[in-house]
């Protein structure tokens, strides 16, 4: 059994930050059904939170106030904990409480970030001493976005999203809108109308404005709420869909400018925006999870 220090027995509360895809190009489809892509991940200072404590009996238990997540055994947090437990053969268990702030199906990486924070937190508490690279390799089987959250840095990504090159990006304030709909990632990636033949680009092309989200036209056609959110937010800045989810974002010149946009949303009388929630987040290059540890 893994030895425990006094500090490792204390409950650990950690953030699980959201991400934005500043662009997303689908460059091909592999025989196994996964899509080859290029994207640029920007981490945010806003997201979910997890509280993790050790259970010496080896049991993995989970609780969350959000009842929409379904059975615990299917949750990425539980799957991540069990995967690390089996990989390291530790005899320790954990109780994990998830405080869910990010909507599901929003393209913000909530589930993947929760799984990554679970791996990082348990690696620390269980003193299993895996490197971040080893945790990222373990996490890719849970989801293509898990590695970027484990490595904890904004990154240029290729492959299925697991081939990461850390980059240092500007850290603007973003306005993020989450319409009242859940976009099914599987539906989008399997749709016949999805563009899958974008030519690979270099970072210089992105900086020159030569990028887009290949999923955005399809999502806007299938989900009118997303289309309305993009149209409205575009009045204040260059709005774009993030990932394959429902959330859209636009960078702002300042925090005050972002607050002004939220105020405009709160007083908007457009019925097409009914149920749309908005919030402000700051782009960060280094994950707040790593700062905590």
pLDDT in tens, 244-293: 989 999 999 999 999 999 999 999 999 999 999 999 999 999 999 998 88
200 band by pLDDT with thresholds 50, 70 and 90: very high
Q: Considering 168, 184, 213, which residue would you say is the last residue of a domain?
A: 168
20 plus 48 within the same structural domain? yes
Residue 290 lies in a domain: no
From the number of C-beta atoms within 10 Å of its C-beta (0-12, 13-18, 19+), residue 44 rates as buried
pLDDT at residue 3, as a whole number: 47
CA angle 239, 288, 91 (to 5 degrees): 125
pLDDT at residue 8, as a whole number: 55
pLDDT at residue 125, as a whole number: 97
Q: Considering 168, 196, 212, which residue would you say is the last residue of a domain?
A: 168
Query: Can 114 be counted among the known catalytic residues?
Result: no
Residue 11 lies in a domain: yes
Residue 292 lies in a domain: no
Residue 82 lies in a domain: yes
Range of the domain at 272: 173-284
Percent of the chain with pLDDT over 70: 95
Percent of the chain with pLDDT over 90: 83
Could you say which of 48, 100, 114, 145 is catalytic?
A: 145
Residue 154 lies in a domain: yes
Torsion angle in degrees (nearest 10) through CA of 112, 114, 120, 123: -110
2 band by pLDDT with thresholds 50, 70 and 90: very low
Number of domains into which the chain is organized: 2
Q: Considering 102, 136, 168, which residue would you say is the last residue of a domain?
A: 168
Annotated binding site: 103-113
Model confidence pLDDT, tens digit, residues 96-123: 999 999 988 899 999 999 999 999 999 9
Could you say which of 19, 48, 100, 214 is catalytic?
A: 19
100 plus 207 within the same structural domain? no
189 plus 157 within the same structural domain? no
pLDDT at residue 9, as a whole number: 67
Query: Can 291 be counted among the known catalytic residues?
Result: no
211 plus 100 within the same structural domain? no
Residue 85's CATH number: 3.30.230.10
Residue 200 lies in a domain: yes
68 band by pLDDT with thresholds 50, 70 and 90: low
Residue 34 pLDDT > 90: no
- Calculate mean pLDDT across residues 182-209: 92
- Spatial CB neighbours of 118, under 8 Å, sequence gap ≥ 6: 50, 52, 76, 77, 80, 81, 84, 96
Annotated binding site for ATP: 103-113
Torsion angle in degrees (nearest 10) through CA of 227, 35, 19, 15: 130
- Calculate mean pLDDT across residues 175-196: 92
Residue 17, number of CB atoms within 10 A of its CB: 26
Residue 293 lies in a domain: no
* Alpha-carbon gap, residue 16 to 43, rounded angstroms: 10
Model confidence pLDDT, tens digit, residues 117-145: 999 999 999 999 999 999 999 999 999 99
Residue 2 lies in a domain: no
DSSP for 222-265? H-HHHHHHHHHHTTTS--EE-TTSS-EEEEESSHHHHHHHHHHH
Please indicate, yes or no, whether the overall pTM of this predicted structure exceeds 0.75.
yes
Residue 247's CATH number: 3.30.70.890
């Amino acid at each position: 059994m893994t030895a425990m220090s006094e500090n490792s027995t204390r409950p650990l509360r950690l953030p699980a930050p959201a991400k934005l895809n500043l662009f997303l190009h689908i460059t091909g489809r592999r025989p196994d059904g996964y899509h080859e892509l290029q994207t640029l991940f920007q981490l945010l200072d806003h997201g979910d939170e997890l509280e993790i404590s050790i259970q010496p009996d080896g049991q993995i238990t989970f609780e969350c106030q959000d009842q929409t997540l379904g059975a615990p055994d299917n949750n990425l947090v539980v799957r991540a904990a069990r995967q690390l437990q089996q990989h390291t053969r530790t005899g320790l268990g954990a109780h994990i409480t998830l405080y869910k702030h990010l909507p599901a199906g929003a393209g913000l990486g909530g589930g993947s970030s929760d799984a990554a924070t679970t791996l990082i937190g348990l690696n620390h508490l269980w003193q299993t001493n895996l490197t971040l690279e080893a945790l990222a390799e373990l996490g890719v089987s849970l989801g293509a976005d898990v590695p970027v959250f484990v490595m904890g840095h904004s990154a240029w990504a290729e492959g299925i999203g697991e081939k990461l090159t850390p980059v240092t990006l500007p850290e603007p304030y973003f306005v993020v809108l989450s319409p009242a709909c859940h976009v099914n990632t599987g539906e989008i990636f399997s749709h016949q109308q999805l563009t899958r033949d974008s030519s690979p680009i270099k970072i210089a092309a992105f900086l020159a404005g030569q990028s887009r989200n290949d999923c955005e036209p399809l999502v806007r056609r299938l989900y009118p709420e997303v289309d309305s959110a993009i149209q409205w937010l575009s009045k204040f800045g260059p709005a774009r869909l993030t990932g394959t989810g429902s959330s859209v974002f636009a960078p702002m010149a300042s925090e005050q400018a972002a607050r002004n946009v939220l105020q405009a949303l709160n007083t908007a009388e457009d019925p097409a925006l009914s149920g749309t929630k908005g919030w402000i987040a700051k782009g960060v290059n280094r994950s707040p999870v790593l700062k905590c540890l």
